[in-house]
Structure 1
Amino acid sequence: MPDDLWDRFSYLARDMSQSPDLASTLGVAVEGATALVAGAEAAGISMVHHGRSIDTPAATDERCRRGDALQYELGQGPCLQAIHQQETVRSRDLRTEERWPEWSRRASEELGFRSMLCVQLFVTQDTLGAMNLYASQPDAFDVDDEATALAVAAQVAVALTAAEELESVQSVVASRIALGQAQGMLMQRYRLAPERAFAVLAREAHASGRRLRDVADDIVRNGVIEGHWTDDD
């Protein structure tokens, strides 16, 4: 691999590691993929959450995002195959592609894409994904591009795992802070013992069908709790 390509890999890894949140990490990843993989004009990342819902949280442009969405709508396409069946999927020419006939026809006719390269992203046991690279020219990707794309995908997977873990920790911390604040407000306003204040929060969450964190946020924001309890409850 040329030295300048190694340098660009290093810059991509650094930029992803310095991104402040998951959305920013994904944005850096798709821009980096188009810069590193020769022939790639657009890139998107597909993510499957808990084995069910799938979306494209980051894409370089709307045409790419639409190409991904068509795969989800039709239940066929290279990124779905990369996610569920094999690590790397390449299509030389979508106009003659027979593996996903409806998606290939619409991607070429409606969006102007002619070739495609998808590589699997393995983030966690509950989260799978694919990095999707699009080109408007046929046969835009070769075996060297596949190797580069796999290397980029490996870096992206590591960065996404770190970003998801960080967001999870931040979410837990924020939830604890909100619960503590709401509990303290109830204790002060209604002269409740700590365990009684928490019981009120839990009862409100159950009665309203909301998360405990959401109830706490409402109390902190509005200063009151509404509807499902009284001072004598």
Structure 2
Amino acid sequence: MAGNDALTTSDGYQDLLLESAGFADFLLGLATISASLLNACTGTMLCTITVERDGAPSTVASSSERGRRLDEAQYAAGAGPCLTATRQQRAVLVEDMANDQRWGKYPQVALDAGVKSMLAVPIPAGSSSKAALNCYAQEAHAFDQDSMGIIEEHAASLSRILRLALRVHAPGAYPDHLRDALKSRAVVDGAVSLIMLQHRGGRDGALELLQLAAKSSNRRIHEIANEIMDGGTFSAAGLNGG
């Protein structure tokens, strides 16, 4: 993630911020991009981002539904690796969930979800906010010194754009009856962000590709977006013909 790749990533972050409808949309895109970039460097993992600001409830964005559930389990318990990394602003490594007893029943929740190790790394977010990048792996002892260094470097690279986003977007609160609709939309927005990264295009172009894929396969956009967010591949090849 150096040189031209770093410049491209920086441009991608700015495009994501400019084209996101709100902070939750931006954060979801950031988590999705993080998972894609880190998977290419360190192997398959789930990525989530936790943000707390001005004493308000935390915002969580995840590259997958499973990652979201793992974070929410920590919030329900009021404790866990991602909360510790966020609130204490220090890296938290869980090398083997089966042998970790720091967070009550949470390690078993992670094991039941197929996660055996985890690394949570703080993202500097300014004086009034705290944030962390959380990475879940399916194997125990998945994080060596090299992969930890890559993840910490990536988390640091998110700092500037996240601080800017926190200034641009005011905290949002959504009524309970809108949460299901927002969750459905979040899946599509996350898939669009990943297509933007893969095809080096804007948001409108990525959404058009997603719509074209749905039309050509006679499937719902949300169904295809779910597959992309769950690690499926997306190719624009052959779509131009309708």
Q: What band does the TM-score fall into relative to the shorter chain?
A: 0.5 to 0.7
Report whether the alignment pairs 1:33 with 2:34.
yes
Report whether the alignment pairs 1:12 with 2:9.
yes
Deviation at 1:89, TM superposition (A): 1.0
Instruction: Name the structure 2 match of 1:210.
Output: none
Instruction: Name the structure 1 match of 2:105.
Output: 102
Alignment of 1:200-219 (within 5 A): none
Deviation at 1:29, TM superposition (A): 2.1
Q: Does structure 1 conserve the Cα–Cα contact (< 8 Å) formed by 2:74 and 2:83?
A: yes
Q: Does structure 2 conserve the Cα–Cα contact (< 8 Å) formed by 1:55 and 1:69?
A: no
Larger Cα Rg: Structure 1 or Structure 2?
A: 1
Q: Does structure 2 conserve the Cα–Cα contact (< 8 Å) formed by 1:36 and 1:148?
A: no
Offset from partner CA, 1:98-118 (integer Å, 9 cap, x none): 212311111112x11111010
Instruction: Name the structure 2 match of 1:166.
Output: 168
Instruction: Name the structure 2 match of 1:127.
Output: 129
Residue 99 of structure 2 aligns to a residue whose secondary structure is: coil
Cα RMSD, aligned residues only: 2.0
Deviation at 1:5, TM superposition (A): 5.5
Q: Aligned AA for 1:30?
A: A
Alignment of 1:1-233 (within 5 A): 6-19=3-16, 20-21=19-20, 22-37=23-38, 38-56=42-60, 58-109=61-112, 111-167=113-169
Q: Aligned AA for 1:18?
A: D
Q: Aligned AA for 2:166?
A: E
Q: 1:8 to 1:141 in 2, by over 3 A?
A: farther
- 5+ residue gaps, structure 2, are 171-242
Q: Does structure 2 conserve the Cα–Cα contact (< 8 Å) formed by 1:44 and 1:64?
A: yes
Equivalent-residue separation in structure 1 for 2:4 and 2:144 (angstroms): 22
Equivalent-residue separation in structure 2 for 1:17 and 1:9 (angstroms): 12
Residue 138 of structure 1 aligns to a residue whose secondary structure is: coil
> Which has the higher relative contact order, 1 or 2, with Cα contacts under 8 A spaced 6 or more apart?
2
Q: How many aligned positions are there?
A: 163
Q: 1:86 to 1:40 in 2, by over 3 A?
A: farther
TM-score, normalised via structure 2 length: 0.61
Deviation at 1:158, TM superposition (A): 0.8
Residue 33 of structure 1 aligns to a residue whose secondary structure is: helix
Q: Percent identity?
A: 27
TM-score, normalised via structure 1 length: 0.64
